[in-house]
């Protein structure tokens, strides 16, 4: 673990040094350039100043949160696609038709072209949020919620896993149906409280954008270039859908890729 984090720290330092050589971006900023610009400048909290010591821990939070959410969700998507061959076929056909038959490399520009992929991702986030319990919030005053008295300074956890399967919010909530997100503005970025895989507000997951990018590019690559099947002797009914008991609902599945 020490070796892994040492390598990660060295990588972050390389990114920082590279950003210092490039200088401030003119058209758009990123986390590194923004924090470099904020170092040693006054903040609203007079007792707190951002220093270079804050930069690598913040980068680590973003990268680790993003990688975890992306990889966990990618596995769940492949599980659900394997359990629902019609959805798998529809998604792969749309990807290959939209991107063409001679694609050598998938880019971020390709992600925006495949609309059905976004529906599949939303539906997977609904059923299998990468973190079933959001980071706890602390009440700022005594409040009452549905007849329950909640004292000030109480830590509250939001069960986004249960919200995503609430029959009051969703029709047939246990069914994997990406089409439910057709013609709706519901997204996973914190504006719609019936779908909160990354939380909402100032305490939402800092790695959300990175995680989504990893997820979209990873899925486009493995679904464009490969067909997938279960190992010999294994049927769809044999797939174990029990979630691991952890702060992150993880899963494993063995599939056989066939290169097109």
Rounded to the nearest 10 degrees, what angle do helices 31-38 and 2-22 cross at? 80
Please indicate, yes or no, if residue 56 is contained in any of the structural domains: no
Asked, for residue 55, whether it belongs to a domain, the answer is: no
Are 102 and 199 in the same domain? yes
Angle between helices 52-83 and 115-127 (to 10 degrees): 100
Annotated binding site: 205
Cα distance between residue 154 and residue 89, in whole Å: 48
Classify residue 58: in a domain, yes or no. Answer: no
Same domain, residue pair 126 and 232? yes
Strands (E), the chain: 137-138, 143-145, 148-150, 155-156, 226-229, 256-259
The answer to whether residue 57 is domain-embedded is no
pTM for the model stands at 0.83
152-167 pLDDT, tens digit each: 999 998 899 999 999 9
Q: What is the pLDDT of residues 124-153, one digit of tens each?
A: 999 999 888 888 889 999 999 889 999 999
| In a domain? residue 176 | yes
Structure confidence at residue 175 (pLDDT)? 96
Q: What is the number of domains present in the chain?
A: 2
With bands split at pLDDT 50, 70 and 90, how would you rate the model's confidence at 100? Answer: very high
In a domain, 251, yes or no: yes
The annotated binding site for heme is made up of 205
| Within a domain: 41 | yes
| Co-location of 81 and 25 in the same domain | no
Residues 109 and 134 in one domain: yes
Domain with residue 165: its CATH number is 1.10.630.10
Tell me the residue range of the domain where 115 lies. Answer: 63-259
Q: What is the mean pLDDT of the chain?
A: 87
Is 30 or 83 the better-scoring residue by pLDDT? 83
* Residue 34 CB-half CA count within 13 A: 7
Q: Contact at 8 Å (CB) between 237 and 231?
A: no
Confidence of residue 180 (pLDDT cuts 50, 70, 90): very high
Both 37 and 76 in one domain: the answer is: no
Residues 195 and 217 in one domain: yes
Please say if the pLDDT value at position 206 is more than 70. yes
Q: Is residue 114 part of a domain?
A: yes
pLDDT at 250: 63
Based on the domain organization, do 10 and 119 belong to the same domain? Answer: no
């Amino acid at each position: 673990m020490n070796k892994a984090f040492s390598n990660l720290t060295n990588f972050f330092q390389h990114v920082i040094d590279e950003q210092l050589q490039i200088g401030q971006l003119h058209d758009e900023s990123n986390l590194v350039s923004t924090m470099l610009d904020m170092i040693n400048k006054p903040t609203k909290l007079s007792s707190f100043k951002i220093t270079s010591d804050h930069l690598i821990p913040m980068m680590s939070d973003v990268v680790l949160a993003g990688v975890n959410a992306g990889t966990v969700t990618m596995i769940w998507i492949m599980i659900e696609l394997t359990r629902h061959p019609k959805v798998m076929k529809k998604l792969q056909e749309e990807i290959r038709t939209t991107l063409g038959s001679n694609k050598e490399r998938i880019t971020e520009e390709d992600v925006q072209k495949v609309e059905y992929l976004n529906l599949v991702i939303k539906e997977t986030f609904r059923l299998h949020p990468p973190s079933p319990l959001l980071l706890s919030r602390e009440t700022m005053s005594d409040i009452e919620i549905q007849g329950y008295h909640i004292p000030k300074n109480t830590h509250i956890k939001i069960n986004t896993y249960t919200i995503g399967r609430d029959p009051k919010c969703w029709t047939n909530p246990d069914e994997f149906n990406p089409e439910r997100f057709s013609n709706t503005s519901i997204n996973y970025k914190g504006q719609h409280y019936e779908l909160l895989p990354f939380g909402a507000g100032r305490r939402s997951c800092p790695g959300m954008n990175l995680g989504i990018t990893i997820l979209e590019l990873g899925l486009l690559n493995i679904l464009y270039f490969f067909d997938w099947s279960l190992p010999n002797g294994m049927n769809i009914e044999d797939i174990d859908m029990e979630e691991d008991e952890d702060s992150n609902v993880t899963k494993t599945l063995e599939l056989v890729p066939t290169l097109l």
